[in-house]
Every structure is written in C-alpha cells, then in structure tokens.
Chains A and B, each alone.
Chain A
Amino acid sequence: MVDIGVGYGMIAIAAGLAMGLSALAAAIGEMAIGSAAVGATAEDRDMFGKGLILTVLPETLAIFGLVVAVLLWLKIP
C-alpha cells in the first residue's frame, strides 16, 4: 500500500461530497420539474419538447459538482 497521507484522503472525500451532494440537489430539482412536465405533456402533447428541456435544467448543478470534483481530484498526485 502506498501511503498517500491524510490530506489527500480529505481531498478525495471532498471530491466525493462535491459530486454526490450536487447530484442529489439536481435530483431534487428534477423531481418537481419532471412530474410537472409529465402532467403538462398529458394535457398537451406539444409540451413534450419544452418539458424535456425544462427537466434537464437542474442538471447544471451536478455538472458544477463534477467540475469541482475533477479540479480537486487533479490535486491528488
């Protein structure tokens, strides 16, 4: 086993938290939008495209999380 030190371990945990928590937040956002979008589509089929786009809007959060995680991960040698 290679000893990578506590500091690097902390970085790894931080990267994991950044990814996981932001994905969770994105999921909570998509939950509400997704159900509303399905409802709208049921009433009017033309809403499908708009609903789909609105549903992926909160995914930005997860992407920010991933970017932060990658930046942290690059600090580990």
Chain B
Amino acid sequence: MTDTDKDLAKKEAGVPAGVERTKPRKVFKPDVDIIEDKEETVLTADLPGVDEKSLDITLEKNVITIRGRVETEIPAGCRLAYGEYEIGDYERAFSLSDEVDKEKIQATIKSGVLKLVLPKAAAVKARKIAITAA
C-alpha cells in the first residue's frame, strides 16, 4: 500500500445528538475524492456492496446526500469464523455551492464506486473578470 498514513478501517457516520437510527445497523461514511476543475466538480465515493438499485442520491436545498443500502450476503449455510470488517449501509452529505448546475448532475456506479459529476452553472463560468494592469 502506498497510502500507509491513511486509516483504512471503515468510519461510522455520525448522527445528531439525541437522535437514534430506526434500523439497528451500522452506517458508515464512505471515503470520497473530490476534484474541481473549470467545468465541473467530480465526486468519487467507495461504496462496496452498493449498486444502482440500492443507491439513493437526493438534493435538497444545496445539500446532496448519498445513501447506499448494503444487503448482507451471508454465504449459504456458513457462519462467520473470523471477521475484520463490518457490513453496513453508507451515508454522507455535502453542501454544494450554488454555482452547481443542478439540472445536469450525473451519477454512475460501477463495481462499488460512485462517480458524481456536478457541472458548474453557465453564469459562473462567464463571470470571470479580466484584470488589466493600471
């Protein structure tokens, strides 16, 4: 592994104080990469065990929420003899700046990796101010 400084264990997602989850299962915070360039912001998230059917992305008031349900696949007739990682759902939310073109958001998931493309609104792209030397 090259990323030796990273904590590779799954991180549990937090809940607001005084609030409990309805389902008695663990919810993890997926690892993400966020890269921004002139045209768009690309968010990539690791969601092992999630496919297009069990993924739910919602956008409400500039907050984009990613929720992935994981069906626990216990091999038939087996019992867990040794466990190092836990299986649970995924949840994470990000607040977007209002420069994202919400109509053009694209999401794709392939082998447990979500790619979310957030294109910038046209107005923002044009709002570049040229500075001339006085």
Decide if A and B are genuine partners.
no
- Report which A residues bind B (CB closer than 8 A): none
